[in-house]
């Protein structure tokens, strides 16, 4: 994914005395380099988190305890969640933002180039803390990725390492978000009004505001855990006048917007790809922008649907149920818009389009289970079961991750200057979508029938589906090595990519050469 | 007494749903014996009015989802098949249509109201814990449940008052580690079942001794977090005699997967007889009690010598249930130490 300086059309006078080798990457302030590093970092963490997932699925292959002790199992589930959310999905979208936002709005770089470097280089130490935490006494954090006290107050030093890591990752996210907001609001090419901006930029603008609003809330919550653990404060200890449920309210006030932080940029990517391959403009650009904003605003008033079983008043349960159900409206608008965009188009199904269509199909199933879970009485039955596990993997894996894959295949020619292997790309899609459903569809049944999540062992009637799920998980995991192979071979060579390799693609990023030169849009383009 | 749980859904609609999701087609089949093993694809057969309502709500919402799913994806797949370039389709260039956009905003909103209406009624019914016939406090411990029958309000108010015991996993460590074959109730069996009368409103107060737990019995439609330092409540009225199994539903540490809940619903007469037996044993004192070995009801201090010494330090004294505390049985302690607890 390296940008080169060789293209004749490039004004290269800025590329003087660049450090080379490792120092190039450590000192870089170039949005493309930083975007590349974000993407490699997140893919690395994706593999780490994936290995944890395969370990825990292996334990669940059969009833009984075979491979890991229950306490280790809890570390696996916890760290799988933390690493995938904060280490894989979120940085991957920031990587896309770094690469694509300046290219899409015609800016020369991100607004704060040095801060951009710093926000990336905060990530590896945080990741290191998370990985090291497995080897401290007591092991890694084992209280679930939600870190609910009092259990998280009981943990060993692994919990402290996780808290520090989350602080660092949060700081990185806030800096990245400030950078994105500033870039989008101030550095658009002349003529590019907000309502002419590509939807990917719009969704990231809204996401960045969400991040700035809620990451400090998470920081506050985990700091209170830290002081409860070490300095005898009793924020979450009833014996000292605190309340364990307070943490849940604060955590989910962060946590629910966080869910949309991980899906809104995915909506943006899909909204770029569907029109490109349908060769037809997005059906309702304006309504997509409004739908995205509505989802973001609603995300602040639905948090307690994650905690219907804590025992809140009927009025609170009703309020959070209605507010949550309401989110189905703007989400539906998005899905209808994508389908209407495909309607009467002239579609081709290269890998990005396959992943985008797969995204709509499978994400919508996650949306339906989300609606089922929004209904308070049903949620009370299904809360903390495998139904919930299935639901959020449908929206996070088939949602966020499939959109990320779609985006990688879509922009890989621009990043590398080469076309990827289309046959292998399609194989990657079909294997991913099939194994994904083998892994997670059966988990709906497990949850409905009464299997709780976060258990290392289960009653015998759950044995069949767990075995199927584990087989699917291994298939899905191994398939991702194919993705790595496709990307690496695309970087190393392949058919030369045209400046605009996709017939129906729109946007400024396709006006620069492929691969995108190190510096682009030093003179801003003019948008009509 | 056993409520049929699918009367409101027209069977034609259920048929449509069953084409899409195996979950719906197994709804009928699952309505057999009322214990956890009966259900594999769907919610467990409901044994309370609330659980029935939850079951019906789920079916209703699933059918709505199935219909929308078919509508939306028929359109998408039609487009994918016929509006492709290789089929020679030329792209139209239309976009933005206010009428269409209003329709697909308003119609989902109306559908949501149709779902929210019955759900609201159930929420209000679930929260009404007033006028119980029997009140029981369930305390979550790492890792077992403690039950205290409290003095209540209804006609059963004195029957079980003061009965208290712990309820821990009865599945052996050897079964869990694959040394012995697993029995049918693997991980769903306890040494002391919670016994309640059928057809009576049972109010469950939950709290916890250490970390969060959740008291969950799917067939009864009850799940309530148990929060240390706080009391929460929920209720159920079982509609059929039987044994209903559940598990702790809130991550509570390494043995979280090993603290099941077993509720035995008896007829009112049998419940009274059970309670009388327990009361007799309780007043007679620990030594004379003909109770199962795993749960000798014990008077607090006097009984300590009678209980094996190993039990004493393990009993969670800080949160001992009210009047008389049964010491934790030696057998379960031994199992726990063996499991590395």
For B152-208, how does the pLDDT look when each residue is reduced to its tens digit (9 = 90+)?
777 787 888 899 999 999 999 999 999 999 998 999 999 999 999 999 999 999 999
Q: How large is the ipTM?
A: 0.91
Active site residues of A: 80, 109, 145, 172-173, 256, 258, 260, 271, 305-306, 331, 334, 453
- Does residue B95 share a domain with residue B142? no
Q: Chain B: residue nearest A153 by CA?
A: B211
Interface contacts (A, B; CB < 8 Å): 292
Which candidate, A306, A315, A373, A372, places its Cα nearest to that of B127? A315
Decide if B54 touches A, using CB distance below 8 A: yes
Strands of the B213-217 sheet, one edge to the other: B194-197, B260-266, B242-248, B213-217, B222-226
Q: What is the DSSP letter of A84?
A: I
| Residue B5 placed within a domain | no
Considering only the beta carbons, identify the residue of A342, A449, A458 that sits closest to B40: A449
What are the residues whose beta carbons fall under 8 Å from the beta carbon of B271, sequence distance 6 or more?
B156, B159, B160, B195, B196, B197, B198
Quick check: B116 and A321 CB within 8 A?
yes
Range of the domain at B328: 134-338
The full length of chain A comes to: 528
Mean pLDDT of chain A: 94
In this structure, what are the phi and psi dihedrals at residue B311, rounded to the nearest 5 degrees? -70, -35
List all residues of chain A from 355 to 384 with a beta carbon under 8 Å from chain B.
Answer: 357, 360-361, 364-365, 368, 371-372, 375-378, 380-381, 383-384
Which residues in chain B (178-217) have CB-CB distances under 8 A to chain A? 178, 182, 184-188, 206, 210-212, 214, 216
As a whole number, mean pLDDT of residues A421-446 equals: 97
Neighbour tally for A526: CB within 10 Å? 10
- Over range A182-189, report the average pLDDT: 96
Q: Which CATH architecture has domain A267-512?
A: Up-down Bundle (1.20)
One domain, residues B98 and B119: yes
> Does the CB of B95 have a partner CB in chain A at under 8 Å?
yes
Residues of B in contact with A64 (CB under 8 A): 175-178, 182
Query: B4 lies in a domain?
Result: no
Kindly state whether residues B171 and B304 are assigned to the same domain. Answer: yes
Residue B244 in any domain: the answer is yes
- C-beta of residue B72 within 8 angstroms of C-beta of residue A360: no
Interface mutation vs chain B, best among A329, A369, A374, A450, most B CBs within 10 Å: A450
Same domain, B92 and B239: no
**What confidence tier does A186 reach under pLDDT thresholds 50, 70, 90?**
very high
Query: Is B1 inside a domain boundary?
Result: no
Six-digit token string for A60: 């669940």
Over the stretch A103-160, which tens digit does the pLDDT of each residue have? 999 999 999 999 999 999 999 999 999 999 999 999 999 999 999 999 999 999 999 9
State how far the Cα of A38 lies from the Cα of A407, in Å rounded to an integer.
14
Structure tokens given for B218:
């799917």
Contact between B234 and A360 using a beta-carbon 8 Å cutoff = no
CA distance A326 to B271: 46
Q: Do A70 and B230 count as a contact with CB atoms less than 8 A apart?
A: no
**A9 and chain B in contact, CB less than 8 A:** no
Neighbour tally for B154: CB within 10 Å: 14
| Domain annotation covers residue B2 | no
- Which CATH number fits the domain that encloses residue B82? 1.10.287.90
Cα within 13 Å of Cα(B199), Cβ side: 8
B73 with A74: Cβ contact below 8 A: no
Write phi, then psi, for B144 (nearest 5 degrees).
-165, 175
Classify residue A397 by its DSSP letter. Answer: I
Question: Residue B150 forms beta bridges with which residues?
Answer: B135
Distance from CA of B329 to the nearest CA of A (A): 23
Q: Are residues B79 and B143 in the same domain?
A: no
Give exposure, B84-109, as e/b (b: 16+ Cβ within 10 Å).
bbeeebebeeebeeeeebeebbeebe
Report how many domains make up chain B: 2
At residue A510, does pLDDT exceed 90?
Answer: yes
Q: Where are the domains of chain A?
A: 21-262, 267-512
DSSP B72-92: HHHHHHHHHHHSBGGGTPPPP
B213 and B86 inside one domain: no
Instruction: Assign residue B212 the CATH number of its domain.
Output: 2.60.40.420
Residues pairing with B149 in the sheet: B136
Class of domain A21-262 as given by CATH:
mainly alpha
Residue A260, min C-alpha distance to chain B (Å)? 20
CA distance B99 to A518: 46
Q: Dihedral of CA A215/A216/A219/A225: which sign?
A: negative
Is B334 in the same domain as B199?
A: yes
Residues of B whose CB is below 8 A from A282: 95
Q: Which residue has the higher pLDDT, A489 or B341?
A: A489
pLDDT tens sequence across B200-245: 999 999 999 999 999 999 999 999 999 999 999 999 999 999 999 9
Partner residue opposite B187 with nearest CB, options A237, A357, A457: A457
- Of B127, B152, B167, the residue that ends a domain is B127
Residues A69, B340: C-beta atoms closer than 8 Å? yes
* A319-334 pLDDT, tens digit each: 999 999 999 999 999 9
């Amino acid at each position: 994914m390296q940008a080169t300086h060789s293209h004749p059309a490039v004004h290269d006078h800025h590329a003087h005395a660049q450090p080379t080798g490792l120092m190039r990457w450590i000192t870089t302030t170039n949005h493309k380099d930083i975007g590349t590093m974000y993407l490699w970092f997140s893919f690395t963490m994706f593999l780490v988190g994936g290995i944890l997932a395969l370990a825990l699925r292996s334990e669940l292959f059969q009833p009984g305890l075979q491979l890991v002790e229950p306490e280790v199992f809890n570390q696996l589930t916890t760290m799988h969640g933390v690493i995938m959310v904060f280490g894989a999905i979120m940085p991957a979208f920031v990587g896309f933002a770094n690469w694509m936002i300046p290219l899409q709005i015609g800016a020369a770089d991100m607004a704060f180039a040095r801060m951009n470097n710093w926000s990336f280089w905060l990530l590896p130490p945080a990741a290191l803390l998370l990985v090291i935490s497995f080897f401290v006494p007591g092991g890694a954090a084992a209280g679930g990725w939600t870190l609910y006290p009092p259990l998280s107050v009981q943990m060993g030093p692994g919990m402290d390492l996780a808290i520090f890591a989350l602080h660092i990752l949060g700081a990185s996210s806030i800096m990245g978000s400030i950078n994105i907001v500033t870039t989008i609001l101030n550095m658009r090419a002349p003529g590019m009004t907000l309502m002419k901006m590509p939807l990917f930029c719009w969704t990231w603008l809204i996401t960045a505001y969400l991040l700035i609003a809620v990451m400090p809330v998470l920081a506050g919550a985990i700091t209170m855990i830290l002081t409860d653990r070490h300095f005898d404060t009793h924020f979450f200890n009833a014996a000292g006048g605190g309340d364990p449920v307070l943490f849940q309210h604060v955590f989910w006030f962060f946590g629910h917007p966080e869910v949309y932080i991980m899906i809104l940029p995915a909506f943006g990517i899909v909204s770029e790809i569907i029109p490109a391959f349908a060769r037809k403009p997005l059906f309702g650009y304006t309504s997509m922008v409004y739908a995205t904003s509505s989802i973001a605003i609603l995300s602040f008033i639905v948090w307690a649907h994650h905690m219907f079983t804590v025992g809140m008043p009927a009025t609170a349960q009703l309020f959070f149920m209605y507010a949550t159900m309401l989110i189905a409206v703007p989400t539906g608008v998005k899905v209808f818009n994508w389908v209407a965009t495909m309607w009467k188009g002239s579609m081709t199904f290269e890998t990005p389009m396959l992943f985008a269509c797969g995204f709509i199909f499978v994400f919508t199933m996650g949306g339906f289970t989300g609606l089922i879970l929004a209904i308070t009485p049903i949620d009370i039955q299904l809360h903390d079961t495998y139904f919930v596990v299935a639901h959020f993997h449908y929206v996070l894996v088939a949602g966020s991750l499939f959109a990320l894959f779609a985006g990688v295949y879509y922009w890989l020619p621009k990043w590398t200057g080469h076309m990827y292997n289309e046959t292998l790309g399609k194989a990657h899609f079909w294997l991913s979508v099939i194994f994904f459903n083998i892994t997670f569809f059966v988990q709906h049944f497990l949850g409905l029938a009464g299997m709780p999540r976060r258990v290392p062992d289960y009653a015998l009637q759950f044995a069949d589906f767990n075995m199927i799920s584990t087989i699917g998980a291994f298939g899905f995991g191994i398939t991702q090595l194919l993705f790595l192979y496709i990307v690496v071979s695309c970087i190393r060579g392949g058919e030369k990519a045209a400046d605009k390799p996709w017939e129906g693609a729109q946007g400024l990023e396709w006006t620069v050469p492929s691969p995108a030169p190190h510096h682009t849009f030093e003179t801003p383009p003019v948008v009509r | 007494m056993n409520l049929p749980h699918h009367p409101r859904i027209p069977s034609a609609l259920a048929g449509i749903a069953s084409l899409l999701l195996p979950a719906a087609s197994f709804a009928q089949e699952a309505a057999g014996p009322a214990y956890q093993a009966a259900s594999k694809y769907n919610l467990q057969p409901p044994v309370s009015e609330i659980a029935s309502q939850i079951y019906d709500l789920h079916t209703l919402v699933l059918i709505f989802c199935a219909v929308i799913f078919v509508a939306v994806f028929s359109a998408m797949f039609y487009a994918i098949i016929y509006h492709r370039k290789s089929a020679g389709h030329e792209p139209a260039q239309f976009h933005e249509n206010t009428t269409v956009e209003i329709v697909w905003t308003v119609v989902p909103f109306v559908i949501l109201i149709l779902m929210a209406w019955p759900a609201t009624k159930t929420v209000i019914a679930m929260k009404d814990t007033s006028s119980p016939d029997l009140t029981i406090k369930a305390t979550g411990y790492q890792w077992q449940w403690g039950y205290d029958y409290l003095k209540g309000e209804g006609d059963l108010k004195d029957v079980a008052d003061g009965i208290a015991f712990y309820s821990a996993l009865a599945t052996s460590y050897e079964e869990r580690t694959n040394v012995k074959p697993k029995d049918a109730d693997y991980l769903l069996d306890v040494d002391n079942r919670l016994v309640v009368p059928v057809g009576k409103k049972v109010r469950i107060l939950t709290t916890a001794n250490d970390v969060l737990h959740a008291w969950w019995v799917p067939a009864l439609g009850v799940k309530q977090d148990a929060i240390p330092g706080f009391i929460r409540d929920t209720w159920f009225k079982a509609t059929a005699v039987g044994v209903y199994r559940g598990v702790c539903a809130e991550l509570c540490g390494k043995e979280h997967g090993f603290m099941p809940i077993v509720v035995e619903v008896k007829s009112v007469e049998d419940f009274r007889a059970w309670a009388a037996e327990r009361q007799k044993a309780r007043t007679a004192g620990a030594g004379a009690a003909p109770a199962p070995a795993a749960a000798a009801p014990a008077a607090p201090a006097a009984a300590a010598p009678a209980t094996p010494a190993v039990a004493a330090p393990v009993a969670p004294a800080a949160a001992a249930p009210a009047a008389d505390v049964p010491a934790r049985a030696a057998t379960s302690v031994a199992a726990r130490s063996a499991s590395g607890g």
